[in-house]
Amino acid sequence: MSLWILAVIVGLLVAGIRAANNRVSQSADRHAVRSLKIAIEQFKQDHGFLPPLVDDTMPPLNGTALNVYQLSDPMDLQFLRTKQVLPTVDPRFSIYSLGLYLFGPLDATIDGKDGPGFRKPNADGTFQLSGGRVFDPVVDGSRGMQGLVPAEPQGEGRFEIHDRHDVPFRYYRWERGKPNNGSVVLLPDDLNVPEIVGDASTQVELRSADYAVVGAGPNGVFGDEDPFTLVGAVGGSVSDVNRLRERARSDNIVEIGTK
């Protein structure tokens, strides 16, 4: 057998192994994202509302309150209605919300119980600090995720749930808009769906959605990172940013749900 033929065979084997590993990895990622959605639905069933959306841009926790968007406040409702033109400037997600409200890792001064676990949460993001039921963590981190990881720097009351590639899962919330008529979506902006979640003009299921859990998938990027980060993850050239973002989003894992 010639060296050339041997090299071709080895190359095909390596490509096959890589593809198989990617399929296994993506299957685990899907299981993890699905588990987080199930946990969110359990939280909603227990408390009557979705986990609040933490404002990740706010300063660290002060020991007495969480920095959450007050969804009864007109300014924050407008924030959830605003579909940004570019995905890189769409901030309607949190990497901290799911850790805080599904695991309950905080001190009793914030969520009523020294973690893990928490007392009854309120829709404004606060917790009852005494009395009543204590809730156990509602997420199963046994497969496809690393579980709860303190954000850096540690000790600031911020926690993330990471996938197997050490990338935080994202929790998206938006205030659903209405099409111009009852059945036809004239423009994607009508429904305010974040671009990373999907295209509501072609994905019918997004038209009734209010939240999403998104994992970066095997390539480790979501598609809204800077071009140089995207090139490092998926290859290509910074001169074709749209193509880079498309390739980065191609293996994102998305689970959606309603209020």
CB-side exposure of 82: number of CA atoms within 13 Å?
A: 13
What integer pLDDT is reported at residue 135 of this predicted model?
94
> How many residues are there in the chain?
259
What integer pLDDT is reported at residue 105 of this predicted model?
85
Going by C-alpha positions, the residue among 223, 213, 169, 172 that lies closest to residue 193 is 172
Residue type, 21: N
Going by C-alpha positions, the residue among 243, 227, 195 that lies closest to residue 87 is 195
What integer pLDDT is reported at residue 193 of this predicted model?
85
Going by C-alpha positions, the residue among 198, 210, 224 that lies closest to residue 174 is 210
To the question of pTM greater than 0.85 for the whole model, the response is no
What integer pLDDT is reported at residue 64 of this predicted model?
46
For the CA atoms of 81, 44, 158, 124, what is the dihedral angle to 10 degrees? Answer: 60
What integer pLDDT is reported at residue 204 of this predicted model?
86
158 vs 19, 60, 113, 155, 201, CA distance in Å?
35, 7, 16, 8, 35
Ranges of residues in the chain whose predicted pLDDT is under 70: 1-26, 59-79, 81-89, 140-147, 152-157, 178-190
pLDDT tens-digit series, residues 82-99: 655 566 667 789 998 998
Cis peptide bond prior to 137, omega within 30° of 0: no
Residue type, 54: V
The encoded tokens of residue 190 equal 């009508």
What integer pLDDT is reported at residue 46 of this predicted model?
95
**Residue 217 to residue 249: CA distance in whole angstroms:** 9
What integer pLDDT is reported at residue 255 of this predicted model?
97
pLDDT tens-digit series, residues 174-223: 887 755 555 554 565 667 888 899 988 888 899 889 999 999 999 999 99
What integer pLDDT is reported at residue 134 of this predicted model?
93
